[in-house]
Amino acid sequence: MATMRAVDIQGGVGDATKLFINDQSPVPELKDGELLVKVKAFGLNRMDLMQRQGMYPLPPQAPKTLGVEFSGTVEKVSGDVGDFKVNDAVFGLAYGGAYAEYIAVNAKMCIHKPKEVSWVQAAGIPEVWITATQALWTVGRFKPGMRVLIHAGASGVGIAAVQLAKHAGAAAVYVTAGSDEKIKFCVEQLGADAGFNYKTQNFAEEIMKATENKGVDLIVDPVGQTHFQKDIDCAARDGAIVVLAMMSGPVAKEVNIGPILFKRLRIEGTTLRSRDLEYQRALRDKVVEEALPGIVDGSLKVFVDKVFDWTDIIEAHKHMESNDSQGKIICTTNYYKEE
pLDDT single digits (tens) 19-61: 999 999 999 999 999 999 999 999 999 999 999 999 888 888 8
Closest CA to 183 of 200, 208, 164, 165: 200
Cβ partners under 8 Å of residue 231, min gap 6: 149, 204, 219, 221, 241
pLDDT at position 185, please? 95
pLDDT at position 270, please? 94
Q: Do domains 3-125+302-332 and 128-269 have the same CATH topology?
A: no
Superfamily of 3-125+302-332 according to CATH: Medium-chain alcohol dehydrogenases, catalytic domain (3.90.180.10)
pLDDT at position 288, please? 95
What's the pLDDT band for 82 if we cut at 50, 70, 90?
Answer: very high
Cβ contact 234:265 at 8 Å = no
pTM summary value: 0.92
Residue 1 has pLDDT above 90, yes or no: no
Write the burial class of residue 97 (CB in 10 Å: 0-12 exposed, 13-18 middle, 19+ buried): buried
Return phi, psi of residue 112, to 5°: -65, 130
Q: Which of 146-150, 217-221, 245-249, 303-307 has the weakest average pLDDT? A: 245-249
Per-domain boundaries in the chain: 3-125+302-332, 128-269
Cβ contact 138:149 at 8 Å = no
Task: Select the CATH number that applies to the domain covering 128-269 from these four: 3.40.50.10490, 3.40.50.720, 3.30.479.30, 3.40.50.300.
Answer: 3.40.50.720
What's the pLDDT band for 338 if we cut at 50, 70, 90?
Answer: low
Q: How many residues does the chain have?
A: 339
Residue 339 has pLDDT above 60, yes or no: no
pLDDT single digits (tens) 122-181: 999 999 999 999 999 999 999 999 999 999 999 999 999 999 999 999 999 999 999 999
The Cα–Cα gap between 337 and 157 comes to 28
pLDDT at position 147, please? 98
Cβ partners under 8 Å of residue 249, min gap 6: 224, 225, 226
